[in-house]
């Protein structure tokens, strides 16, 4: 960046412009040097002040508040918040409706495995020599760049009866496959999970591709001298090399599945048996006006995600990759 040189010269220029009269007043010899050193040491902290301040204000303060709300019966408006202890947490686990929404997450967990398989497949193919490689990469990554709400609206029109998907099916003679994609409770969750897979495959793909491209090309060369085919290269070189990234994708997939929100919220609003944990949390907070209970649900989700992450770290240790 061009700011780097000016940043270095800045204090020097400032020091040069300092009036001479100021210097004799400094008690310590070499006051100018010390002054600017002190100033320079402070600079990074001044730069950090803004982002850290915003982080504290907009992330940590609300989280701390959330823990406090979760042990009260606050309705989101009342001036008084009564302490109710762990009652909200008991409610989270005893209300059968709250437990049911976790089952909906299973659709998305399965979806995240499909998503990883697809991403790995495309990443492997595109790491070899392929025509129009960058175009394919762009096409695969593009859905991730679109806002989730926009995706919801696009697919709402695509999946509605007589919409894009039905038209394609009719024109290709597959009438028997036409469904009410969000209206039929049997297929609604599959449809929504598929939209989610469509959206996030690009991100997983890019992570895998980055990891694969960091593999030293000499290893492939050596392998091909040993008579390895593409499948051998994938199984014995690529997969072991990117294992930590696969692990990461796995955590993100699981925690993401637990906290699915935008796509089902926009497309069905959680109706027709597609309600996810976060949609229910939002409903609890803003429709049922039980902010305390909703906060407890949010805390539970936070803990779940932490536990999943911790378990994953225990089961798949983050060891160094060594291909030699």
Partner 1 sequence: MFPQKRRTRVLAVVTASTLLALTAACSSGGGDQEANDDGTPSGELTVLTWRTDLVEDGTFDEYVEQFKAKYPEVTDVTVEGVTDYEGTVKTRMNTEDYGDVLAIPGSVTPDQLPDFFEPLGDQAEMEKEYRWLNDKSFEGKSYGIPVVGNVQGVVYNKRVWEEAGITEFPTTPQEFLDDLQAVKDKGIAVAPLYTNYKDAWALSQWEGWRGAVTANPDYVNEMTQTDTPWTEESDSGVIDGTIYDVVAQGLTEADPTTTDWEGSKRLLGVGDISAMVLGSWSIPQMQAAAEAAGADPADIAYMPTPSQVDGKFHTVAGGDYNLGINVHSKNKATARAWIDWFNHESGFSEAQVGLSPLIDGPVPAALEGFMAEVELITMNPAPEGKESLFADIDTASGIVTTDPKYRQQIIDDARSGARTKEQIFDDLNSRWAEGRADAGA
Q: How far apart are CA 272 and CA 294, in angstroms?
A: 21
**Of the listed pieces 30-38, 132-140, 223-231, 296-304, which binds partner 1 according to CB under 8 A?**
296-304
Give alpha helix (H) positions in the chain: 3-17, 31-55, 61-69, 87-94, 96-127, 133-145, 148-159, 164-171, 188-213, 217-225, 230-232, 239-241, 243-258, 262-267, 277-286, 291-315
241 vs 295, beta carbon nearer partner 1:
295
Q: Which of 84, 194, 242, 285 binds partner 1 (CB under 8 A)?
A: 285
Rounded to 10°, the helix 277-286/291-315 angle is 160
Determine if 149 is a binding residue for partner 1 (CB under 8 A).
Answer: no
Q: Which of 118, 141, 178, 262 binds partner 1 (CB under 8 A)?
A: 262
102 vs 128, beta carbon nearer partner 1:
102
7 vs 185, beta carbon nearer partner 1:
185
Q: Are 32 and 24 in contact, with CB atoms under 8 Å apart?
A: no
Determine if 111 is a binding residue for partner 1 (CB under 8 A).
Answer: yes
- Per-residue burial over 260-281, b if 16 or more Cβ lie within 10 Å, else e, is bbbbbbbbbebeeebbbbbbbb
CB 140 to partner 1: min, Å: 15
Q: Are 189 and 104 in contact, with CB atoms under 8 Å apart?
A: yes
Which three-class secondary structure state does DSSP give residue 83? Answer: strand
Q: What is the DSSP string of 109-149?
A: HHHHHHHHHHHHHHHHHHHS--TTHHHHHHHHHHHHHS-HH
240 vs 269, beta carbon nearer partner 1:
269
Binding map of partner 1 across residues 217-246, x = CB under 8 A, - = no contact: ------------------------------
CB 204 to partner 1: min, Å: 9
Q: Which of 10, 35, 66, 169 binds partner 1 (CB under 8 A)?
A: 66
Q: Running DSSP on this structure, what letter comes out for residue 72?
A: B
Binding map of partner 1 across residues 68-107, x = CB under 8 A, - = no contact: -x-----xxxxx---------------x-x----------
Determine if 189 is a binding residue for partner 1 (CB under 8 A).
Answer: no
55 vs 222, beta carbon nearer partner 1:
55
Beta bridge partners of 72: 83
**Of the listed pieces 127-135, 169-177, 208-216, 290-298, which binds partner 1 according to CB under 8 A?**
290-298
How many C-alpha atoms does 261 have within 13 Å on its Cβ side? 11
Number of residues in contact with partner 1, rule: CB under 8 A? Answer: 65
**Of the listed pieces 1-9, 168-176, 228-236, 292-300, which binds partner 1 according to CB under 8 A?**
292-300
Q: What is the DSSP string of 166-214?
A: HHHHHHTT-GGG---TTTSTTTHHHHHHHHHHHHHHHHHHHHHHHHHHT
Q: Which of 35, 183, 244, 247 binds partner 1 (CB under 8 A)?
A: 183
Q: Are 281 and 105 in contact, with CB atoms under 8 Å apart?
A: no
Q: Which of 165, 207, 278, 296 binds partner 1 (CB under 8 A)?
A: 278
Determine if 136 is a binding residue for partner 1 (CB under 8 A).
Answer: no
The footprint of partner 1 (CB under 8 A) covers: 57-59, 61-63, 65-66, 69, 75-79, 95, 97, 108, 111-112, 115, 148, 156, 159-161, 180, 182-183, 185, 188, 196-197, 199-200, 252-253, 255-257, 259-262, 268-269, 271-273, 278, 281-283, 285-291, 294-295, 298, 301-302, 305
């Amino acid at each position: 960046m061009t700011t780097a040189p000016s940043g270095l010269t800045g204090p020097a220029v400032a020091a040069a412009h300092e009036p001479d009269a100021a210097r004799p007043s400094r008690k310590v010899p070499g006051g100018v040097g010390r002054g600017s050193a002190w100033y320079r040491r402070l600079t990074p902290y001044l730069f950090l002040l803004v982002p850290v301040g915003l982080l504290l204000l907009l992330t940590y303060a609300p989280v701390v508040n959330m823990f406090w709300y979760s042990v009260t019966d606050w309705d989101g408006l009342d001036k008084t918040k009564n302490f109710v202890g762990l009652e909200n947490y008991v409610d989270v686990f005893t209300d059968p409706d709250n437990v049911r929404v976790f089952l909906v997450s299973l659709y998305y967990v399965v979806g995240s495995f499909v998503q990883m398989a697809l991403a790995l497949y495309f990443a492997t193919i595109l790491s070899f020599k392929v025509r129009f490689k960058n175009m394919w990469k762009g096409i695969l990554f593009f859905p991730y760049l679109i806002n989730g709400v926009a995706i919801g609206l696009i697919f709402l029109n695509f999946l509605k009866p007589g919409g894009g998907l039905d038209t394609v099916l009719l024109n290709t003679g597959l009438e028997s496959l036409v469904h009410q994609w969000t209206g039929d409770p049997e297929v609604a969750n599959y449809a929504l999970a598929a939209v989610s897979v469509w959206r996030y495959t690009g991100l997983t793909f890019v992570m895998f591709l980055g990891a694969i491209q960091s593999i030293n090309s000499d290893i492939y060369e050596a392998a091909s001298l040993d008579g390895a085919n593409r499948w051998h290269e994938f199984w014995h070189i690529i997969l072991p090399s990117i294992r930590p990234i696969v692990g990461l994708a796995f955590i993100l997939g699981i925690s993401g599945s637990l906290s699915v929100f935008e796509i089902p919220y926009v497309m069905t609003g959680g109706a027709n048996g597609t309600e996810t944990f976060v949609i229910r949390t939002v409903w609890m907070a803003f429709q049922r006006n039980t902010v305390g209970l909703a906060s407890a649900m949010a805390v539970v989700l936070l803990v779940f995600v932490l536990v999943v992450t911790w378990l994953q770290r225990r089961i798949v240790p983050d060891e160094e990759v060594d291909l030699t």
